[in-house]
Amino acid sequence: MASTQQALPPDPGEKIQGEEEAQFSTVPIHVVTNPSELPVEFLEPSAETQLVIGFDCEGVDLCRHGTLCIMQFSFPDAIYLVDAVQGGEAIVQACKPALESNYITKVIHDCKRDSEALYFQFGIKLHNVVDTQIAYSLINEQEGQARVPDCHISFVGLLADPRYCGVSYDEKEEVRVLLRQDPKYWTYRPLSEQMIRAAADDVRFLLHIYHKMVQKLNGKSLWNLAVRGALYCRCFCINDNHFADWPPLPPIPENIVADGSILEEEVLSVVDVPPGKMGRVIGRRGASILSIKQSCDAEIFIGGAKGPPDKVFIIGPQKQARKAQAILMGKLLDF
């Protein structure tokens, strides 16, 4: 393999204790540039060897127009850093079956931009994800907390939450500073020790968090998590065929229907904004778009500087998404 390092054990004082410590004992970190260096059960997904793995991406301005540099995969016994710079498109395409497979669950924190980069740069339709940002919100809602607009937990915040991990991640901010100073940080080779550690730590705790979260989620929330994760994957990947070539959304489980639970289909709606009108849609200091979010039980995303421009993306229960769309269209007509 191109390089093998050792992950450091948890820092003193972290909340992971007892039997859980074994999960975070030193595990090998493999920097790979050739598909043969990845596990066979990952490269060749099958129903007989279903996997749950942590997943993340690093790059330059990661989106449809940016550059994917590293894909990180965490397994219970190892972490693999797939070097897309040195391995090129061949190694990324070798990972396509796993990234699109229903037999491999990808645990990730906020998959929208990662999915966009994979789709537009490599034609990969990221599928079957468990998005810990979504799961965090669903658990809070399940416990009776009202959904707050734009209240999305950061990865650093999630790691710090003692219910799931209780670890500090100061190095994340250090890397962010370096990225602001030099946006090409992730393109340099060979990978430095800091780059390897930072990339590995972005996935190192994801499986631990996943198991903690799954224990808390009821059947309805688990279905919501699967559907909303699929819609997050599609969010910025708008195409001309309305996602007809993407895998279907997870159906409502029969056991939930049998319980008499009332579930409403969740949808992704896309609203086109006339050129030059996005600022007025957002409003001064975001007041206009915030008022829409407060009026509807749906999530609203804007492409922003990374794009796509002049589009608003709405994810939520069908009635709430339609309500948000109607309010937004009304504002556009006022212009």
Find the distance separating the first CA and the last CA of the chain, reported in whole Å.
59
Residues with Cβ < 8 Å from 48, sequence gap 6 or more?
none
Report if residue 186 sits inside a domain. Answer: yes
Tell me the pLDDT band of 13, cut-offs 50, 70 and 90.
very low
Mean pLDDT of 248-252: 88
What's the average model confidence in pLDDT over 170-178? Answer: 88
Query: Per-residue pLDDT tens for 270-319?
Result: 999 988 888 888 888 888 888 888 889 899 999 888 988 889 999 999 99
Do residues 166 and 302 both lie within one domain?
Answer: no
Task: Check pLDDT > 50 for residue 18.
Answer: no
Most confident stretch, 32-41, 244-253, 261-270, 308-317: 32-41
Q: Are residues 138 and 286 in the same domain?
A: no
Q: Is 242 domain-assigned?
A: no
Residue 92 included in any domain? yes
In DSSP terms, 272 is beta-bridged to 311
* Whether 165 and 55 share a structural domain: yes
Same domain, 160 and 277: no
Q: Mark whether 168 and 296 lie in a shared domain.
A: no
Does the structure show a pLDDT above 90 at 44?
A: yes
21: confidence class by pLDDT, cuts 50, 70, 90: very low
CATH label of the domain that carries residue 289: 3.30.1370.10
Whole-angstrom Cα distance, residue 5 to residue 200?
10
What digits encode the pLDDT tens for the residues 106-154? 999 999 999 999 999 999 999 999 999 999 999 999 998 877 766 789 9
**158 and 105 within one domain:** yes
Q: How much of the chain, in percent, has pLDDT values that exceed 70?
A: 90
Mean pLDDT of the chain: 88
Q: What is the mean pLDDT of residues 51-65?
A: 96
Task: Identify whether 217 is part of a domain.
Answer: yes
* Pairwise CA distance, residues 207 & 52, whole Å: 8
* pLDDT for res 264: 81
| pLDDT of 172 | 85
pLDDT at 1: 47
Residue with tokens 């500090």: 168
What band does 260 get if pLDDT is binned at 50, 70 and 90? low
| Residue 325 covered by a domain | yes
- One domain, residues 141 and 271: no
Query: Are 151 and 222 in the same domain?
Result: yes
Tokens in use for 272? 């086109």
Residue that is last in its domain, among 173, 204, 229: 229
- DSSP reduced 3-state for 83: strand
* Residue 284 burial (10 A CB sphere; 0-12, 13-18, 19+): exposed
Asked whether residue 3 carries a pLDDT value surpassing 80, the answer given is no
* pLDDT above 70 for 12: no
Is 237 part of any domain?
no
Rounded Cα gap, residues 77 and 34, in angstroms: 20
Shared domain for 207 and 272, answered yes or no, is no
Overall domain count for the chain: 2
The residue assigned the tokens 């999630």 is 158
Task: Based on the fold, state whether residues 66 and 190 are members of the same structural domain.
Answer: yes
| DSSP codes of every residue in 173-222 | HHHHHHHHH-TTGGG-SSPPHHHHHHHHHHHHTHHHHHHHHHHH--HHHH
Same domain, 71 and 165: yes
Residues 74 and 222 in one domain: yes
Which domain, by its residues, includes 283?
264-334
CATH number at residue 71: 3.30.420.10
Listed residue (101, 80, 102) closest to 35, CA to CA: 80
Least trusted range by pLDDT, from 53-62, 193-202, 243-252: 243-252
Q: Is residue 63 in some structural domain?
A: yes
**Final residue of a structural domain among 202, 229, 256:** 229
Q: Last residue of some domain: 186, 214, 229?
A: 229
Residue 13 belongs to a domain: yes
Mean pLDDT across 97-110? 98
